[in-house]
Structure 1
Amino acid sequence: MPSRFRFTLFPLLAMLACAPLAHAASGHYRVVAYDTVHHPIPAADVDRIDTLIFAFAHPADGRVTLSTAARALLQQRIALKAAHPGLKVMISVGGWSVGGFSDAAMTAESRQRFADSAAALLVDTHADGLDVDWEYPGHHESGIASSPQDREHFTALLKALRAALDRAGHGKHYLLTIAAADGPFVDGIDLAAVAPSLDWFNMMTYDFCNVMTPTTCNHTGLHASALAPADARTLSRAVRQFLAAGVPPAKLVPGVAFYAREFADVDPAHHGMFQKYGHYQGGHDWPQLKADYINRNGYVRYWDAKADAPYLWNEKTRRFITYDDPQSIAAKAAYVKAQHLGGLMYWEQGSDPSDELLKAVWQGLQ
């Protein structure tokens, strides 16, 4: 959306009315970590994280369920709160290719069953909230069932969840968030309507190009590259889209990627940026990038100054890698503060065992 829509009256009124604004305005920005790993999290890492989101619970027969093995891992995370009382631990339900949401949201009865089971799970596990990762309402790209009514049903589902969590809390405020994409992938969500039910939105501002897209790109770029088409997805465009829809800025927590996307047999123009490719090669976590790819083995690092994003090009093999690093994370943190957003989220904890990228997130938001 054009930037002139950013400060329309509705977002301003909503911003003034929402308590989370004080969180960002006070100078403290959230560091939100998705966590799927089995190994312990170093104490230094925990001290830099405000909210740890454990992934994943799953919808089963219309209820939010967590396996016995997952419960054991979750309890390891809950136990961290004893030494780190400021830490919040949430449970994320869903994930890519996980269905069951459309049916769970379909009727008042099914929504209540889903909401009550979620509240019971939080009470039972002593978690601090629920993150709903439905990818995506009204869409079936991930292979899940969807319905044209998902948009209105999702609003109703989140209202039911908010009410159920408030009843279960008995004075404790259980957090409620959603993981949301941008561009066409969010047209199944009435952003303004769901915002009052949510503490914040975890914006999946990564995977802008992947195995499903026809060209390479900055997969987690802050701004648009000079080579980007008009409809290219970026973090800043996603933020403008959500603001224009009426979401208060302090409820927006954009995401950074602790992993890379690699493409092979890439057309060589512009060092492979926004070019067609032969096949998607795969992903690389940050330690592997440093050890084997960044200015190694023929991969040369370039910086896209307009996008505020790094990328690698291997001229000999015609392979292209797009990723986040401390420099691009610092630029995103500065953008979050300039726009008075809620903080930064990242996927995911296990991709940065040396905590170099987490340090960049934390330091950038101070």
Structure 2
Amino acid sequence: MMKLMKSFLFLVLISITYVAQAQKVVVAYVTSWTKVMPDPAYVTHINYAFGHVNNMFNGIRIDNPNRLKQLTALKEKSPGLKVMISIGGWGSGRFSEMAAADSNRNKFAEDCLRVVNEFKLDGIDIDWEYPTSATAKISASPDDTKNYTLLMNAIRLKIGNNKLLTLASVADAKYVDFKAIEPVVNFVNIMTYDMGNPPYHHAGLYRSKYTRGISVDEAVTAHVSAGMPLSKLVLGIPFYGHGKDGIKGFIDYKEILELKGYQNKWDDLAKVPYLENDKGDFVCTYEDPKSIAIKCDYLLGRGMLGAMYWEYAGDTDDGILRKAVHSGVNK
């Protein structure tokens, strides 16, 4: 009887583990200005970048809608794939005006439903960078955080509970009242990158002498402290780096691999690679399969929902990074 009970418990544990793994997400941002088609074998969700608040502050304008239709067509052969539209992005404005007025906010939420139905989408991703901040040279108001909460509630009410509602969040968890929106959102994509430029890491997992702002680990903890449970947090991973002194300020991973005359270095505290020039200067911060594998171990260990990356086209043609994310999340 004892052996039978142990066997039963073992099968239960296997079943629980399988379900937990099956529920993990891999979110890929796919842009309107690139042409590569994502492989559904390596992603669970596609966030199409971007849609924007229209000039009337009451609806959505979509960049390159034909590309969005191409992405949703992938669901015909991969019905489990989720395709969403991400509204916003750096420098995408008119959120503040839209969210401030009840009529505009409600019309915008209605248009979210229209877009979801018209393009056969699985939900809406809000990428307002960032409420109350005019850093991206967009309009802002001290009331933005409060109005952001009202906006998310309005969208949820219109699209219903069967569609996804997510958001992109800055690493330090500022600008958004996470406790207030937690009941209405499915998950949060933390933009755990762009936290430094050479000679600092932009996505170091832990702190080191090359940390300027915060680490990825500190970003996750900040979101938990702000009121978002780990089970609703998705870890952002960059498929690009930042360079200086002859290396582009924004450079895709596939371009980094083509660079000549630099030394590959590894920061064993921050758990990320970087490049040095022949003078020993730190000139490029980026991610590689090794750092991604460690990040995936980290997110699984903390009980996070999964991983997100910006953006699909930054990877190599054979998918070195996307394969690393997929295998790492699905261990």
The reply to whether TM is greater than 0.5 is yes
Greater relative CO (CA pairs within 8 A, separation 6+): 1
Q: Which residue of 1 aligns with 2:201?
A: 218
Q: Which residue of 2 aligns with 1:195?
A: 182
Query: In structure 1, what residue type is equivalent to 2:245?
Result: A
Q: Distance in 2 between matches of 1:205 and 1:329?
A: 12
1:33 corresponds in structure 2 to 28
- SS of the equivalent of 2:136 reads coil
One-letter identity of the residue aligned with 1:197: V
Matching residue within 42, 46, 60 for 1:65: 60
Closer, same or farther: CA 204–23 of 1 in aligned 2, 3 Å: farther
Residue pair 2:58, 2:105 contacting (<8 A) in 1 also: no
Task: Work out whether 1:307 is the aligned partner of 2:270.
Answer: yes
1:82 alignment partner, one of 76, 96, 100: 76
Q: CA deviation at 1:195?
A: 1.4
Task: Give the 3-state SS of the residue equivalent to 1:63 in structure 2.
Answer: coil
The residue number in structure 1 matching 2:288 is 325
Structure 2 CA distance for partners of 1:24 and 1:127, relative to 1, 3 Å: farther
Q: Distance in 2 between matches of 1:64 and 1:307?
A: 42
What are the Cα deviations for residues 8-46 of structure 1, in whole angstroms up to 9, with x where unaligned? xxxxxxxxxxxxxx999712321000001542425xx21
Name whichever of 218-227 and 339-348 sits farther off. Answer: 218-227
Give aligned-pair identity as a percent. Answer: 35
C-alpha RMSD over aligned residues:
2.0
Distance in 1 separating the partners of 2:175 and 2:104 = 19
Sort the Cα spacing of 1:192 and 1:216 in 2 relative to 1 into closer, same or farther, 3 A.
farther
Aligned: 1:119 with 2:113: yes
Q: 1:24 to 1:241 in 2, by over 3 A?
A: farther
Contact 1:25/1:340 (8 A) holds in 2: no
What SS does the aligned partner of 2:28 have?
strand
How far 1:180 moved relative to its partner? 0.6
Quote how far apart the aligned CAs of 1:354 are.
Answer: 2.3
Which residue is 2:326 aligned to? 362
Question: Is the 2:60–2:108 contact (alpha carbons within 8 Å) kept by the matching residues of 1?
Answer: no
Aligned to 2:309: 346
In structure 1, C-alpha distance between the alignment counterparts of 2:187 and 2:18, rounded to whole Å? 12
Question: Residues 222-233 of structure 1 correspond to what in structure 2 (within 5 A)?
Answer: 222-228=205-211, 232-233=213-214
1:252 is aligned to 2:268: no
Structure 2: any 5+ residue segments left out of the alignment? Answer: 1-15
What amino acid maps onto 2:58 in structure 1? R
Preserved CA contact (<8 Å) 2:44 2:82:
yes
1:256 to partner: Cα distance: 0.4
Name the structure 1 match of 2:242.
Answer: 261
Q: Tell me the TM-score normalized by structure 2.
A: 0.89
Which residue in 1 is equivalent to 2:131?
137
Deviations 1:132-184 (A, max 9, x none): 10000011111011000111110111000100111xxxxx711111111022x
Match of 2:297 among 334, 342, 352: 334
Letter matched to residue 113 of structure 1: K
User: What is the Cα deviation at residue 48 of structure 1?
Assistant: 1.3
Q: Deviations over 1:43-101 (max 9, x none)?
A: xx21110000111011011234234x621111100110011111000001111011100
Contact 1:24 1:250 in 2 (8 A): no
Question: Quick one: structure 1 residues 245 and 25, their matched pair in 2 at CA, closer, same or farther if it must change by over 3 Å?
Answer: farther
Conserved in 1, the CA contact under 8 Å of 2:69 and 2:119? yes
**Whole-Å Cα distance in 1 between the matches of residues 59 and 274 of structure 2?**
39
SS at match of 2:249: strand
Q: Distance in 2 between matches of 1:24 and 1:97?
A: 41
User: Hey, what does 2:8 align to over in structure 1?
Assistant: none
Q: Which runs of 5+ in 1 are unaligned?
A: 1-21, 167-171, 266-279
